[in-house]
């Protein structure tokens, strides 16, 4: 089943190593993110998990890591969107730091 659900927050291009573990089957996928927001990320993969699957994720970037619980919020032939559900305060702070850095280094596009 495919989902066309749109992300809740603006996602920024962000490439980082990610390990996704399906909580039910314990299947692990090692991949890279392609974008990130405060609510989730997109992971290109030829074999996305099922829509709604509960997952544990670990994202590693620039010597820091974020661990979170989440679920597969959307899936397509080329990957899946992961919605974060539970982040510890430390992980939330790291995520906010990454997003802050992305905001300050992004070139603003003119509004149409």
- For 18-52, how does the pLDDT look when each residue is reduced to its tens digit (9 = 90+)? 999 999 999 999 999 999 999 999 999 999 999 99
| Residue 3: predicted pLDDT | 46
What pTM did the predictor assign? 0.83
Question: Mean pLDDT in the chain?
Answer: 88
Q: What average pLDDT does the segment 10-24 reach?
A: 93
Write out the two tokens for 112: 């149409």
| CATH architecture of the domain formed by 12-104 | Beta Barrel (2.40)
């Amino acid at each position: 089943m495919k989902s066309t659900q749109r992300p809740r927050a603006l996602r920024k291009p962000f490439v980082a190593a990610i390990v996704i573990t399906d909580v039910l089957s314990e299947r692990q996928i090692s991949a890279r993110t392609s974008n990130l927001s405060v609510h989730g990320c997109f992971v290109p993969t030829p074999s996305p998990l099922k829509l709604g699957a509960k997952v544990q994720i670990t994202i590693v970037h620039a010597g820091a890591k974020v661990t979170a619980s989440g679920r597969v919020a959307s899936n397509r032939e080329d990957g899946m969107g992961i919605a974060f559900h539970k982040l510890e305060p430390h992980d939330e702070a790291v995520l906010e730091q990454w997003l802050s850095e992305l905001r300050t280094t992004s070139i603003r596009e003119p509004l149409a």
